[in-house]
């Protein structure tokens, strides 16, 4: 966790440092507030949240009068936390308390890190003492099933797969069926994310969802989003949200971008919490999203 924090801090704290430096100027004039806005926008915080944040900061700085660096840091920390706050639970729900395994569907555009995230999540769950079955329902990308199976072998989870180009829904069905037969704790279903047409996507994911729900409740639908794709990622997120009820967001590749503000933007966009973050390609590079740690890494 310490290592992850360090990595997050390395990629992110340009934003926080920039904001703190700007806020520390003796005279906070219009130009400075504009620069603060630009800094937030550059980090992909999004227009509306940026305006809200700056408005609140302006007011609080005005009320405060003179300000020490420590006070400014506290203000900024509180306001950033406020921006990320949500009432919905942050934890991935893998304990439904039922006889059937918890089922988690992982969706998102190809290349965002879906398969990797599914593998890493399996690793976390297995380390937590849970038995996991993986469903390789991404039959569109040729190597996806092999890739998932390799993860499964590495972490100790069985992979249910079908023929290349096969029907994703039938693999999802089999994965849940075997999860039930095995009395597994969790079934993770990796899906294909080709954004060919919205109707096509809806058809495919809808079918996967239906065959899963015939056998067990669907506990989570995690949308994987590549943090480096900015506004594009948000557009994609919107399409997925229209097709299937997303319950949580996984933001990957935060190690490779200073645009951590996307956390704010995507939560606003979808109204669901960021639950996990990806900070690298390795097996240990998936972390629960901890708002306080995130903001601390941001401000440095």
Decide whether 19 or 132 has the Cβ nearer to ligand GDP: 132
Q: Which of 73, 161, 253, 259 binds ligand GDP (CB under 6 A)?
A: 253
User: Does the annotation list 109 as a binding residue?
Assistant: yes
Decide whether 16 or 193 has the Cβ nearer to ligand GDP: 193
Q: Which of 279, 295, 297, 298 binds ligand GDP (CB under 6 A)?
A: 279
Q: Which two tokens stand for residue 74?
A: 């506290």
Q: Where are the beta strands (DSSP E) in the chain?
A: 102-107, 132-137, 158-160, 186-191, 218-226, 248-252, 274-278, 286-288
User: Does the annotation list 254 as a binding residue?
Assistant: yes
Decide whether 49 or 260 has the Cβ nearer to ligand GDP: 260
The CB-of-119 to ligand GDP minimum distance in angstroms stands at 8
Contact 249, 222 (CB under 8 A): yes
Nearest to 279 by CA among 249, 243, 242, 254: 254
User: Does the annotation list 166 as a binding residue?
Assistant: no
Binders of ligand GDP among residues 196 to 225 (CB under 6 A) are: none
Residues 91, 93, 97, 99, Cα dihedral to 10°: -150
User: Does the annotation list 119 as a binding residue?
Assistant: no
User: Does the annotation list 193 as a binding residue?
Assistant: yes
**Coil, helix or strand for 281?**
coil
Say which residues have a Cβ less than 8 Å from residue 172's Cβ, sequence separation at least 6: 105, 135, 137, 189, 191, 208, 211, 212
Region of 49-57, 121-129, 208-216, 249-257 interacting with ligand GDP (CB under 6 A): 249-257
Distance of CA 200 to the CA centre of its chain: 24
Cα distance between residue 276 and residue 176, in whole Å = 23
DSSP 8-state code for residue 101? P
Contact 232, 226 (CB under 8 A): no
Tell me, by CB under 6 A, how many residues bind ligand GDP: 19
Decide whether 5 or 67 has the Cβ nearer to ligand GDP: 5
Q: Which of 79, 185, 255, 269 binds ligand GDP (CB under 6 A)?
A: 255
Contact 44, 50 (CB under 8 A): no
Binders of ligand GDP among residues 80 to 119 (CB under 6 A) are: 108, 110-116
**Residues 135-174: x where in contact with ligand GDP by CB under 6 A, - otherwise, as a string:** ------x--x------------------------------
At CA 182, angle to CA 181 and CA 184, rounded to 5? Answer: 115
Residues 97, 214, 160, 190, Cα dihedral to 10°: -80
Q: Which of 20, 35, 54, 256 binds ligand GDP (CB under 6 A)?
A: 256
User: Does the annotation list 208 as a binding residue?
Assistant: no
Decide whether 72 or 286 has the Cβ nearer to ligand GDP: 286
Q: Give buried/exposed letters for 39-54 (b at 16+ CB in 10 A, else e).
A: bbeebbbbeebbebbb
Check residue 44 for interaction with ligand GDP (CB under 6 A): no
Check residue 278 for interaction with ligand GDP (CB under 6 A): yes
The CB-of-111 to ligand GDP minimum distance in angstroms stands at 5
Annotated binding site: 108-115, 190-194, 252-255
Q: Which residues contact ligand GDP by CB under 6 A?
A: 108, 110-116, 141, 144, 252-253, 255-256, 278-281, 285
Q: Which residues are annotated as a binding site for GTP?
A: 108-115, 190-194, 252-255
């Amino acid at each position: 966790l310490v290592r992850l924090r360090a990595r997050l801090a390395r990629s992110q704290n340009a934003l926080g440092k920039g904001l703190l430096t700007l806020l520390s100027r003796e005279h906070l004039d219009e130009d400075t507030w504009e620069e603060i806005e630009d800094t937030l926008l550059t980090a992909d915080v999004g227009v509306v949240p940026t305006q809200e944040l700056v408005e609140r900061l302006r007011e609080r700085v005005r009320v405060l009068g003179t300000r020490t660096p420590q006070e400014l840091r506290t203000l900024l920390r509180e306001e950033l936390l406020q921006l990320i706050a949500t009432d919905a639970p942050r934890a991935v729900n893998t304990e439904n308390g039922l006889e059937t395994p918890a089922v988690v569907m992982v969706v998102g555009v190809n290349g965002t890190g879906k398969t990797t995230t599914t593998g890493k999540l399996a690793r976390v769950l297995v380390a937590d003492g849970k038995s996991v079955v993986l469903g390789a329902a991404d039959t569109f990308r040729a190597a996806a099933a092999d890739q998932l199976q390799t993860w499964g072998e590495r972490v100790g989870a069985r992979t249910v797969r079908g023929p290349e180009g096969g029907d994703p829904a039938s693999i999802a069905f089999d994965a849940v069926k075997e999860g039930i037969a095995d009395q597994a704790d969790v079934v993770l279903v990796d899906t294909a994310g080709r954004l060919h047409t919205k109707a096509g996507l809806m058809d495919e994911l809808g079918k996967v969802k239906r065959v899963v729900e015939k056998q067990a409740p669907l506990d989570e639908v995690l949308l994987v989003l590549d943090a480096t794709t900015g506004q594009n990622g948000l557009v994609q997120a919107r399409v997925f949200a229209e097709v299937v009820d997303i319950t949580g967001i996984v933001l990957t590749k935060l190690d490779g971008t200073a645009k951590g503000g996307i956390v704010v933007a995507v939560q606003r966009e979808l109204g669901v919490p960021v639950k996990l973050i990806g900070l690298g390609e390795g097996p240990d590079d998936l972390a629960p999203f901890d708002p306080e740690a995130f903001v601390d890494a941001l401000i440095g």
